[in-house]
């Protein structure tokens, strides 16, 4: 126990700082992937074949590429080869590249979550919207998507939960996040190895479990009565 407490004395601040990085990655990547994913979903249900094809191609490419590879590509190719400099700050640049990688990857899943929500909206809703003279985009914005989002709370929540945990992959992009620190701590404090694992795991559990509960209650509360 004393050993474990001394670990906190030594690493406490860095543990919190690193985990804060994971939460920040989650926050920004989720907002960005929600925007991009929604745009992709609109493309995939649009009447324009080339947009549909683009949306489909995007989802199939990035959903089927490992996240580690996307983030490593960002760091080693976009930064390493093409010198992509999003920020003067060396560390912050990696952080931004990680957000982009997480966004690109999870947008494909978010798009599919929205599409599953669109499938909960009866075809008649779109027909009624068109029949009063709404074009595709206004009908999507005012009739289809509001219902689709409410029908997609659970799959969108699953994307969020996956994203929270997948922020640990940002270690592949040299971001000082919790799984990187965990590896360092295990190497330097091998005596506390199991507890270090459990501590980091618990930190995620503490964040994810309430989100799961919230999703369940929201999905019931927001369900569209038909």
Q: Cα 217 from chain centroid?
A: 21
Per CB under 8 A, 49 contacts other proteins = no
Per CB under 8 A, 66 contacts other proteins = no
- Interface residue with other proteins, options 9, 47, 82, 83 (CB under 8 A): 47
Per CB under 8 A, 124 contacts other proteins = yes
Q: Which contacts (CB < 8 Å, 24+ apart) does range 60-63 have?
A: 61/108, 62/104, 62/105, 62/107, 62/108, 63/105, 63/108, 63/109, 63/112
Q: Which is nearer to other proteins, 12 or 146 (CB)?
A: 146
- Interface residue with other proteins, options 138, 183, 198, 211 (CB under 8 A): 138
Residue 151 C-beta: closest distance to other proteins, Å: 10
Residue 132 C-beta: closest distance to other proteins, Å: 4
Per CB under 8 A, 146 contacts other proteins = yes
**Of 4-12, 56-64, 146-154, 156-164: span binding other proteins (CB under 8 A):** 146-154
Q: Are 164 and 201 in contact (CB under 8 A)?
A: no
Residue 157's contacts (CB-CB under 8 Å, 6 or more residues apart) are 211, 212, 214, 215, 218, 219
Q: Are 96 and 20 in contact (CB under 8 A)?
A: no
- Interface residue with other proteins, options 63, 150, 165, 189 (CB under 8 A): 150
Eight-state DSSP code of residue 17: H
Quick one: tokens of 104?
Answer: 């690109």
Residues in contact with other proteins by CB under 8 A are: 47, 122, 124-125, 127-135, 138, 142-143, 146-147, 150, 224-226
């Amino acid at each position: 126990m004393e050993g474990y407490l001394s670990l906190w004395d030594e690493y406490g601040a860095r543990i919190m700082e690193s985990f804060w990085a994971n939460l920040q990655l989650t926050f920004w990547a989720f907002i960005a992937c929600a925007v991009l994913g929604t745009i992709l979903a609109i493309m995939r249900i649009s009447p324009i074949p080339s947009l549909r094809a683009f949306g489909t191609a995007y989802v199939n490419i990035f959903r089927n590429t490992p996240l580690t590879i996307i983030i490593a590509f960002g760091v080693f190719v976009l930064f390493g080869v093409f010198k992509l400099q999003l920020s003067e700050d060396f560390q912050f640049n990696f952080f931004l590249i990680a957000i982009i990688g997480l966004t690109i990857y999870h947008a494909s899943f978010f798009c599919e979550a929205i599409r599953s929500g669109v499938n909960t909206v009866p075809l008649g809703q779109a027909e009624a919207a068109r029949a009063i003279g709404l074009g595709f985009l206004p009908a999507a914005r005012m009739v289809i998507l509001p219902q689709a989002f409410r029908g997609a709370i659970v799959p969108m929540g699953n994307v969020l939960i996956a994203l929270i945990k997948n922020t640990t992959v940002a270690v592949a992009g040299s971001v000082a996040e919790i799984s990187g620190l965990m590896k360092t701590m295990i190497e330097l404090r091998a005596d506390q190895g199991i507890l270090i694992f459990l501590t980091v795991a618990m930190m995620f559990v503490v964040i994810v479990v309430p989100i799961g509960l919230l999703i369940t209650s929201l999905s019931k509360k927001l369900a569209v009565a038909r």
